[in-house]
Amino acid sequence: MVSFSPSLLAADFSNLREEISKVAGADYLHLDIMDGQFVPNITFGPGLIRAIRPYSSLKFDTHLMIEEPEKYIEEFAVAGSNLITFHAEATYHLDRLVHQIKDAGCQVGVALNPATPLSELEYILTDIDLVLIMSVNPGFGGQKFIPQILDKISRLREMIDSRGLDVMIEVDGGVNRDNVQEIVEAGTDIIVAGSAIFRADDPAGALEEMRARVAFTG
Ligand code: DX5
Ligand code: ZN
């Protein structure tokens, strides 16, 4: 069963409460945290997560695109994150950070930029809940899906299954109604979609349409 995590980045920030209610039929809410250092864009922080937490019963899927993520884990956990994902490229101490997130009471994900090899995960895969495969260069919504990433997803699926592990694969960037099926067929468990959902005339309908397209896949 495929899960969906609409990315709030594409929502109307002047009307967040209503925007969030439009995606109540999703599984997660994807929260993109950008610091203007790790990526060339700035979004929001734990304060906003805390403010919207009472208005959604979805699991909060926090995607940290920040330098020195280890400094902010507890704040993002207390703010209401259920899952915290950091970038392998943003820390020297991947193993330590994985355990810091678990100790903070959250599920843990490791994100890889498009050009980062899967070998980064070799000695950590048994300890994590999720791998986030970036299918665009992080920093902005509305970019085009990088086609080589389909192969990366299949290889990761094989790596997880051949080891008998229970690690989810999340794919983030450029996913829309036209490519969602092949992305799921490659082995994805959680689909992130920003523009394809929040920029649609009917976000709830767009989400249901994507769900329908993958209903018999995966
Ligand atoms: C990009 C973010 C994504 C972004 C996806 O750096 O990590 O989560 O919001 O947006 P779309 O679905 O529009 O590509
Ligand atoms: Zn993201």
pLDDT of residue 218: 53
Parent domain of 51: 3-214
Nearest CA to ligand 1 atom 4: 141
Q: In this structure, what CATH number is given to the domain that contains residue 190? A: 3.20.20.70
Q: Which long-range contacts (CB under 8 A, 24 or more apart) does 94-102 make?
A: 94/120, 94/124, 95/123, 95/124, 95/127, 96/70, 97/69, 97/70, 97/73, 98/124, 98/127, 98/128, 99/127, 100/70, 100/73, 101/73, 101/77
Q: Give the total number of structural domains in the chain.
A: 1
Task: Identify the pLDDT of residue 103.
Answer: 98
| 150, 186 Cβ separation under 8 angstroms | yes
**pLDDT (tens digit per residue) in 64-82:** 999 999 999 999 999 999 9
Mutate which of 4, 5, 9 for ligand 1? The one with the most ligand atoms within 8 Å of its CB, which is: 9
Which pLDDT value is given to residue 89? 98
For 28, list phi and psi in degrees, rounded to 5. -130, 165
**Which residues belong to the active site?**
32, 172
Report the pLDDT value the prediction gives residue 216, as an integer from 0 to 100: 81
- Confirm or reject: Cβ of 105 under 6 Å from ligand 1: no
Which ranges of the chain have pLDDT less than 70? 218
* CB 63 less than 6 A from any atom of ligand 1: yes
